[in-house]
């Protein structure tokens, strides 16, 4: 594949390395502030010479980049988070001739295996009302959004599988939480690549599911794999669509 990397920070550089290791070509790197990037902005000229754009930029430019890619009839791997209020707009963009979008709050293969474990565990816990679920996540002090896209995806899975939980609360609580609310809390500090913990707590014991990333390599490899998967497709996809090809019976809400 001929790949443009949009967002040439730490993640973009690792994506470049992983893509080249798999025999792909980087035709441009785009970043308005990174001096090592080949271009400041994503342009029509850049898109003419590429097959796919892998976007790990910032929420403020995600929709603009998606529009440029889809109007050019190219493929897009959207790893940027924080744009989810515009999901319907993104779906319409992906319907344009020749274009396709695959998105995820987290492209790590390990995290998506974790999602499958969360789904199965939540199905079991639906029958045990004494266990109250909640989510906490840790990330580095440079992360632009809170809670993380991955934490929200975990929350969506829990809501999909546990009938007694119907709404996610991610803001600071200055009151008692309601029984139907699922609380997601966040910590930002240091250089933590990402840790997510789903807890089921009862009066007598606690059950925890935890995923800890050791670095960004897993996210980068997953993003390149998603690009390979979407090359012959048209339309709007989440990482779940790709995982369904790998894990028999895997399905979830995201």
Question: In the predicted model, is pLDDT for residue 117 greater than 90?
Answer: yes
Residues 6 or more apart whose Cβ sits within 8 Å of residue 218: 108, 109, 110, 111
Closest CA to 1 of 49, 42, 40: 49
Which position among 17, 120, 143, 233 bears the catalytic label?
143
pLDDT tens column, 81-108: 889 999 999 999 999 999 999 999 889 9
Best-predicted range by mean pLDDT among 40-44, 150-154, 197-201? 197-201
CA angle 213, 218, 221 (to 5 degrees): 170
Mean pLDDT value of segment 8-22:
96
pLDDT of amino acid 11: 93
Residue with tokens 């001739």: 97
Cα Dmax for the chain: 62
Of 75, 136, 139, 211, the catalytic one is: 139
Cα dihedral 117, 120, 126, 131 in deg (nearest 10): -30
Return the bridge partners of 52, or none.
3, 75
pTM of the model: 0.76
Spatial separation of the C-alpha atoms in residues 12 and 42, rounded to whole Å: 14
Establish whether 68 is a catalytic residue.
Answer: no
pLDDT digits (tens, 9 = 90+) for 181-221: 999 999 999 999 899 999 999 999 999 999 999 988 998 99
Using the predicted structure, report yes or no on whether residue 144 has a pLDDT greater than 90: no
Is 143 among the residues known to form the active site? yes
Q: Is the pLDDT of residue 145 over 80?
A: yes
For the ranges 120-129, 185-194, 196-205, 239-248, the lowest mean pLDDT is seen at 239-248
pLDDT at 42 over 60: yes
Q: Where in the chain is the domain with CATH 3.40.50.720?
A: 2-107+216-243
Q: Which fold has domain 2-107+216-243?
A: Rossmann fold (3.40.50)
Q: Reduce the DSSP state of residue 249 to 3 states and report it.
A: coil
- The mean pLDDT of the chain is 93
pLDDT confidence of residue 254: 44
Distance CA 90, CA 70 (A): 10
Higher pLDDT, 236 or 109: 236
Q: What is the pLDDT of residue 94?
A: 95
Predicted pLDDT at 81: 87
Give ranges for CATH 3.30.360.10 in the chain.
109-212
Fold of 109-212: Dihydrodipicolinate Reductase; domain 2 (3.30.360)
Identify the residue whose tokens are 């045990």. 128
- Residue 186 phi/psi, 5-degree rounding, is -140, 150
Summarize the chain as % helix, strand, coil (round to 5): 35, 25, 40
**pLDDT at residue 252, rounded to an integer:** 54
């Amino acid at each position: 594949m001929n790949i443009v990397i949009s967002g040439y920070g730490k993640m973009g550089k690792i994506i470049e390395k992983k893509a080249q290791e798999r025999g792909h070509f980087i035709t441009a790197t785009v970043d308005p502030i990174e001096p090592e990037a080949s271009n400041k902005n994503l342009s029509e000229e850049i898109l003419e010479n590429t097959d796919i754009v892998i976007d790990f930029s910032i929420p403020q430019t995600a929709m603009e980049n998606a529009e440029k890619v889809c109007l050019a009839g190219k493929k897009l791997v959207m790893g940027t988070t924080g744009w989810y209020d515009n999901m319907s707009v993104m779906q319409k963009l992906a319907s344009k001739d020749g274009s396709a979008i695959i998105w995820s709050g987290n492209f790590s293969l390990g995290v998506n295996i974790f999602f499958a474990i969360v789904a199965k565990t939540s199905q079991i816990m639906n029958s045990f009302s004494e266990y109250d679920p909640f989510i906490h996540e840790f990330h580095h002090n440079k992360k632009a959004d809170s809670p993380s896209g991955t934490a929200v995806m975990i929350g969506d899975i829990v809501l999909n599988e546990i009938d007694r939980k119907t709404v996610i609360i991610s803001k600071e609580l200055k009151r008692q939480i309601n029984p139907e609310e699922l609380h997601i809390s966040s910590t930002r500090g240091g250089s933590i690549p990402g840790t997510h913990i789903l807890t089921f707590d009862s009066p007598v014991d606690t059950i925890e599911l935890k995923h800890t990333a050791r670095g960004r390599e897993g996210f980068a490899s997953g993003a390149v794999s998603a690009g390979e998967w979407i090359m012959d497709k048209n339309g709007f996809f989440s990482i779940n669509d790709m995982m369904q090809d790998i894990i028999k019976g895997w399905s979830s809400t995201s």
